[in-house]
Amino acid sequence: MEYVIDNGHIIVADQAKIDRNDRGYHFGDGIYEVIRVYNGKPFTMDMHVKRFEESAKKLDMVLTLSLSKLEELLMELVKKNALQDGIIYVQMTRGISPRNHLYSRNEKAVITGYTQEMPSKVELQQNGIDVWVTDDIRWLRCDIKTINLLGNVLAKREAADHDCHEAIQHRNGIVTEGSSSNLFLIKDRILYTHPATNLILNGITRQVVIGLAKELGYEVFEEAFPKDVIEHADEAFITSTTSEVTPIKSFQGQVEVTLEVGPITRQLQEAFEKEK
């Protein structure tokens, strides 16, 4: 039997109901997190729930349960679904009310969630992916993990239409991030990635990988760079909860570069494997 979180409670999946007046449907008015589970154990759950709370605050929403209660609830769901290797998805919408742009601060937030088996993408991590370079058309609060992801989904579709696995976005020539991942370049043994500003989501995997790189003795420059410098990179990879550390073997579209999967990317993949 599959269980889900419905309005903050764990119930049988078939019995879950979504209200058609949920503000998530009307406006994409909500937030989410995706948390990786390895061997039945959530990975960096504390960082994810903290970011969930921060996303809520930035959208003038209030979490209706404490972070420790939320962690307990998610752990209970993992156990009930006997999830071994996969993800937990959790989201909170602002509430249920007839369509109206103006929200009230008395809305009762709706927390839903589910789990899904998902093994690591070993083949992609071994061979690398092709990425499509395109304009970043998103709003100016990409630091918030909102369910409103139109810019991201259009970029992902555009990438797939060019047989690429991920879109790498740039804003006026400055590279920001992937449609659902963060980007790292390596040049002369130094790692470069966009700083954690309002223009990117500060990925949990990004933060873990920056920590691991520093522990391994590498310098990490959290600096914005123009898309033209991609041509001079020695190595490149993306990070995310589901892709972990995935090498890039080519950039296509507005930048055309072919890359080998390099030794530092491999070293970081190994370090990440140990961290799991």
For ligand PSZ, give the closer residue by CB, 73 or 147.
147
Size of the site for ligand PSZ (CB under 6 A): 15
- Which range of residues in 53-61, 102-110, 174-182, 219-227 is near ligand PSZ by CB under 6 A? 174-182
Per rule CB under 6 A, is residue 88 in the interface with ligand PSZ?
Answer: no
Per rule CB under 6 A, is residue 86 in the interface with ligand PSZ?
Answer: no
Site string for ligand PSZ, 22-61 (x = CB under 6 A): ------------x---------------------------
Per rule CB under 6 A, is residue 240 in the interface with ligand PSZ?
Answer: yes
Catalytic residues: 145
Per rule CB under 6 A, is residue 201 in the interface with ligand PSZ?
Answer: yes
Please name the residue ranges forming H helices in the chain.
23-27, 45-58, 67-80, 122-127, 150-161, 204-215, 263-275
Closest to 101 (Cα-Cα) out of 27, 159, 167, 165? 27
Q: Looking at beta carbons, which residue is closest to ligand PSZ?
A: 203
* Shortest distance (Å) from residue 211 CB to ligand PSZ: 13
Per rule CB under 6 A, is residue 177 in the interface with ligand PSZ?
Answer: yes
Contact 48, 62 (CB under 8 A): no
Element holding 132 (H helix, E strand): strand 129-135
Q: How far apart are CA 213 and CA 27, in angstroms?
A: 39
> Around Cβ 78, how many Cβ atoms within 10 Å?
20
What is the pairing mode between strands 174-178 and 166-171? antiparallel
- Which range of residues in 13-21, 56-64, 175-183, 219-227 is near ligand PSZ by CB under 6 A? 175-183
Closest to 96 (Cα-Cα) out of 18, 31, 33, 32? 18
Residues at the interface with ligand PSZ (CB under 6 A): 34, 152, 177, 180-182, 201, 203-206, 239-242
